[in-house]
Amino acid sequence: MDIVAVQANPPLPAWAPPAGLDPVPMKSSAKRRCLAVVLAAGEGKRMRSERPKVLHELAGRSMLAHVLGAVGKAGADTLAIVVGPDQDEVVAEAKRFAPTAEIFIQPAPLGTANAVLAAKTALAGFDDILIAFADTPLVAPETFAKLRHALAESHAVAVLGFEASDPAGYGRLIFEDGALAAIREDKDLREKERRLTLCNAGLMAIEGAHCVALLEAIGKTNAQGEYYLSDAVAAARRRGLEVAVVSAPEEEVLGINDRRQLAAAESVLQARLKAKAMASGVTFLDPERVHLSYDTAFGRDVTIEPDVFFGPRVKIGDGVLVRAFSHLEGAEVGPGAVVGPFARLRPGTALGENVHIGNFVEVKAATLGAGVKANHLAYVGDATIGAGTNIGAGAITCNYDGFTKFHTEVGKGVFVGANAALVAPVKIGAGAYIASGSVVTDDVAADALVVARARQVEKPFWAKAFRAKHRKV
Ligand code: UD1
Ligand code: MG
């Protein structure tokens, strides 16, 4: 067995997966050090977009972030991300999600094996090299973990296979005497191999000790003149090394090349997220008409009516009812609250227990205490509202003068009359009453009544006289 001596490199910084990621338990008792190499150097022309392909989003975060999250959960200690030249936005997103990841540039797209070798200096010193594709974002952490388990059981290479409903375009798994002998790319297939339906998902795991030698043994004598990562299988077999196949359902290995596939992946992901939410005690009156984000968090006995959109960073407490046509992002909703129909909760919203937010009410960067009611046509922005306060129809906080945002503070048990305008910065004391239509520019003392509008003037019989005058003409 010829193992190429790999020059020792200074170790890459360890990667701490973001908080909230539960690692997949690994079978092997001895901890195997794992490097994940994420390939993102493809051009993604078929997206027809100014935005790099791997930054297109699924369930509220980029494909790249999904893949980084999955390899992190599968126990990757260190990340290497391979990008093409001039992909600053991709680098920025990678750094945002995984600040210690090392970035490698593949100067020209010469194939997937060449892309992994762009990160050659990172490959030394690891037991498991996990190779992931940034445009294959639905692979579950458990599946990456299965590839690692295969390495722990003395396989040099572990590939991910799937039964393709339409195998055209994919590399096929070629078996000889019951063992995987090679992967043949679609363009290199022999005629009788065309009907094989067991295909290569692309990503794979390679034993660290063999990785560089196997990759460097790969040539480019093939139909596309590219260095194929899939040829690592044949290279391993030539050296008498064991190769394993792990299988996955087709929907998990969907690769995204165009917007139709992006939409297909989105619907797979949405179904997954809703299945998980339903298993934890959420009722969707029509699951297909609700959009979730990757991190939407629900308590128990939550009910979601149709046509509700959950953007990123939303947390819903126990027993909440979100009624139809509501749009929520960056909001925390306390237990027992009722939101909507037609409500909009924007980032920085925190609703206490049993808050009611009704139709055409918008809340932004505001904390509403327990039992607050804003049932119709209100805007509450940059505000703190005390428990039990009632915000009347059409009441608004005027939080912006065109340059600066100002805060409104409303105490407990305040009655804000209909159509009141609270001009921030302003403080309303607990228990105060704000008369309807008031424009409140000064602070209001607790338990006071404020009437801040012109007094009503009544002119008896004025209208009758006015009409009579016009009739004479
Ligand atoms: C690859 C597999 C094929 C498999 C298919 C599954 C190879 C040679 N073929 O083909 O067996 O059935 O995935 O979808 O591996 N990339 C780079 N640099 C390159 C080329 C690619 O970084 O020079 C990245 C791409 O950004 C992408 C990934 O590698 O994330 C896969 O590349 P792609 O061109 O889509 O490979 P396929 O032709 O789909
Ligand atoms: Mg592809």
> Is 11's pLDDT higher than 60?
no
Same domain membership, residue 399 and residue 326 = yes
Mean pLDDT of all residues belonging to the chain: 93
3-state SS, the chain, equals CCCCCCCCCCCCCCCCCCCCCCCCCCCCCCCCCEEEEEEECCCCHHHCCCCCHHHCEECCEEHHHHHHHHHHHCCCCEEEEEECCCCHHHHHHHHHHCCCCEEEECCCCCCHHHHHHCCHHHCCCCCEEEEEECCCCCCCHHHHHHHHHHHHCCCCEEEEEEECCCCCCCCEEEEECCEEEEEECHHHCCHHHCCCCEEEEEEEEEEHHHHHHHHHCCCCCCCCCCCCHHHHHHHHHHCCCCEEEEECCHHHHCCCCCHHHHHHHHHHHHHHHHHHHHHCCEEECCHHHEECCCCCEECCCEEECCCEEECCCCEECCCCEECCCCEECCEEECCCCEECCCEEECCCEEECCCCEEEECEEEEEEEECCCCEEEECCEEEEEEECCCCEECCCCEEECECCCCECCEEECCCCEECCCCEEECCEEECCCCEECCCCEECCCECCCCEECCCCCCCCCCCHHHHHHHHHHHC
Q: Give the model's pLDDT for residue 27.
A: 54
Same domain membership, residue 429 and residue 330 = yes
Write the pLDDT tens digit of every residue in 360-391: 999 999 999 999 999 999 999 999 999 999 99
User: Of 66, 155, 376, 407, which is the active-site residue?
Assistant: 376
Confidence of residue 42 (pLDDT cuts 50, 70, 90): confident
Same domain membership, residue 277 and residue 226 = no
Ligand 1 atom index nearest CA of 170: 12
Same domain membership, residue 340 and residue 248 = no
Write the pLDDT tens digit of every residue in 290-335: 999 999 999 999 999 999 999 999 999 999 999 999 999 999 999 9
Q: Give the model's pLDDT for residue 19.
A: 46
The verdict on whether 376 is a catalytic residue reads yes
Confidence of residue 4 (pLDDT cuts 50, 70, 90): very low
Q: Which of 55, 63, 112 to mutate to test the pocket of ligand 1 (most atoms within 8 A of CB)?
A: 112
Same domain membership, residue 110 and residue 157 = yes
Q: What would the mean pLDDT of 132-157 be, rounded to a whole number?
A: 97
The domain tally of the chain equals: 2
Write the pLDDT tens digit of every residue in 44-96: 889 999 999 999 999 999 999 999 999 999 999 999 999 999 999 999 999 99
What Cα–Cα distance (Å) separates residue 290 from each residue in 43, 92, 303, 360? 32, 31, 11, 19
Query: What CATH number did the domain enclosing 329 receive?
Result: 2.160.10.10
Is residue 266 assigned to a domain?
A: no
- Ligand 1: residue whose CA is nearest its atom 5: 202
Query: The whole model's pTM is what?
Result: 0.90
Write the pLDDT tens digit of every residue in 207-241: 999 999 999 999 999 999 999 999 999 999 999 99
Ligand in nearest proximity to the CA of 134:
1
Range of the domain at 276: 272-450
Same domain membership, residue 212 and residue 72 = yes
> Is 279's pLDDT higher than 60?
yes
Query: What CATH number did the domain enclosing 146 receive?
Result: 3.90.550.10
Write the pLDDT tens digit of every residue in 396-422: 999 999 999 999 999 999 999 999 999
- Ligand 1: residue whose CA is nearest its atom 26: 42
Same domain membership, residue 317 and residue 232 = no
CA of 214 to the centre of ligand 2 (A): 22
Residues having CB within 6 Å of any atom of ligand 1: 39-42, 82, 106, 109-112, 114-115, 133-135, 170-171, 183, 185, 199-202, 228-230, 255
